[in-house]
């Protein structure tokens, strides 16, 4: 059975036909020009980002404080201070006795730190 003629359907078909008649493809020259503009924008953005990165790095190098070439170790005297003269006589005091193992603490950098003698609590039992 044929469908009855719908006035709304015929209007949509008429509008579609008139749209097809007025449609035209864009010329190749305008498509090419649009692609070139897009490429130019992308290249410009990349060059700008590169210039900003290089400028920032150069500015950071200029503004950072200069590092000394080399520093002498901390245990050597500086050339400005006079070296103490060595005593000609032997010392009159005895060197201190070596510390007990429980009086030393090893620091994270390998140095030994003397703790001294802890105070004893009279209620603590002696360690045996």
Gap between the Cα atoms of 70 and 80, Å rounded: 17
Task: Give pLDDT, residue 68.
Answer: 61
Contact partners, residue 114, CB within 8 Å, separation at least 6: 99, 103, 104, 105
Render pLDDT for 44-54 as a digit per residue (tens, 0 to 9).
999 999 999 99
pLDDT at 41: 98
Per-residue pLDDT reduced to its tens digit, 100-125: 555 555 556 656 665 655 555 556 66
For residues 99 and 90, the answer to whether their CB atoms sit within 8 Å is: no
pLDDT at 23: 86
The tens digit of pLDDT for each residue in 4-16 reads: 678 899 999 999 9
How many CB atoms are located within 10 Å of the residue 128 CB? Answer: 3
DSSP H helical segments within 64-92, as ranges? none
What average pLDDT does this structure show over 82-102?
62
- The chain-wide mean pLDDT, for the chain, equals 76
Could you list the beta-strand ranges (E) of the chain. Answer: 104-106, 112-114
């Amino acid at each position: 059975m044929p469908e009855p003629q719908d006035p709304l359907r015929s209007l949509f078909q008429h509008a579609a036909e008139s749209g097809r008649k007025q449609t035209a493809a864009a010329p190749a020259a305008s498509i090419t020009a649009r692609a070139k503009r897009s490429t130019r924008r992308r290249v410009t953005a990349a060059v700008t980002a590169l210039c900003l990165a290089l400028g920032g790095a150069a500015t950071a190098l200029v503004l950072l404080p200069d590092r000394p070439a080399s520093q002498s170790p901390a245990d050597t005297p500086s050339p400005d201070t006079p070296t103490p003269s060595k005593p000609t006589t032997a010392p009159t005091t005895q060197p201190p006795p070596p510390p007990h193992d429980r009086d030393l603490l090893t620091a994270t950098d390998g140095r030994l730190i003397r703790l001294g003698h802890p105070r004893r609590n009279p209620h603590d039992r002696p360690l045996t």
